[in-house]
A and B are shown apart, each in its own frame.
Chain A
Amino acid sequence: SQQGEEDPQALSIQEGENATMNCSYKTSINNLQWYRQNSGRGLVHLILIRSNEREKHSGRLRVTLDTSKKSSSLLITASRAADTASYFCATDSSSFQGGSEKLVFGKGTKLTVNP
């Protein structure tokens, strides 16, 4: 069943602009992760934020997590054409549901950065 839902579904910006993608989820989580996927390729892990963290940075990426609103955002600053890809959030609720590791992915945001 789908847990995370990204918004917007598609985003088109100019190089140098910032890109913000949002993710909303329904149940309590252990952590939330963001992944990137270039067209037709595998997913690449970008960043993991735990439920007791509010903000995390990695290079040009900034992720926030608001557990009270069950939402997260991914900000890419000073975007480049090479950032063009789909971005997915994935939630891990395994510590709450029990059983095995089960990352549940959203449908993704398709980001296009125009040169």
Chain B
Amino acid sequence: ETGVTQTPRHLVMGMTNKKSLKCEQHLGHNAMYWYKQSAKKPLELMFVYNFKEQTENNSVPSRFSPECPNSSHLFLHLHTLQPEDSALYLCASSKGLGTGELFFGEGSRLTVL
């Protein structure tokens, strides 16, 4: 138990569906992150939020839409995805930006049919 909870753990969706991934951290951290992990590729940073303000968008396609209503919650809204978007999506948090250690959730395994 890392203090970062992701739901759902598994998601299967069609290319025309709209779904959302949710992340909640109980650590009192101020920074939250979305990473994408595909087979045989390094972890890719997608978005960074600090005090619920987006500080990094790593050229992510607009079919991925993040939302950070407060420092404890982070969402990733998904629409019109492609099969190549199938991956493990990992949420992480840290005390602040540049403070070192990231705490990861267990991930949401997404399959796009």
By size class, the interface of chain A is 20 to 34
Let me know if A48 is at the binding interface, CB within 8 A: yes
**A30, A48, A100, A108: residue with the most chain B Cβ atoms closer than 10 Å:** A100
Total A-B residue contacts, Cβ distance less than 8 Å: 69
Known: A100-B55, A103-B45, A104-B45. A43 touches B100 (CB 8 A): no
Interface: A87 (CB within 8 A): no
Binary contact track B62-95/A, C-beta < 8 Å → 1, others 0 = 0000000000000000000000000010101010
The smallest beta-carbon distance between A20 and chain B, in angstroms, is: 21
Residues of chain A in range 26-77 having any CB-CB distance to chain B below 8 Å: 30-31, 33, 35, 40-45, 48
Interface size class of B (residues with CB under 8 A): 20 to 34
Cβ B98 vs Cβ A95 within 8 A: yes
Q: Is the CB of A101 within 8 A of B41?
A: no
**B90 and A94 form a contact (CB under 8 A):** no
Interface string of A91-105 (1 = CB under 8 A from B): 010110001111111
A94-B97, A105-B42, A107-B42 known; A40-B109 Cβ under 8 A: yes
Closest to B48 in A: A100
* B107 close to A92 (CB less than 8 A): no
Nearest B residue to A45 via CB reads B101
Q: Are A101 and B101 in contact (CB under 8 A)?
A: no
Residue ranges of B at the interface with A (Cβ–Cβ < 8 Å): 2, 4, 6, 31, 40-43, 45, 48, 50, 55-56, 88, 90, 92, 94, 97-107, 109
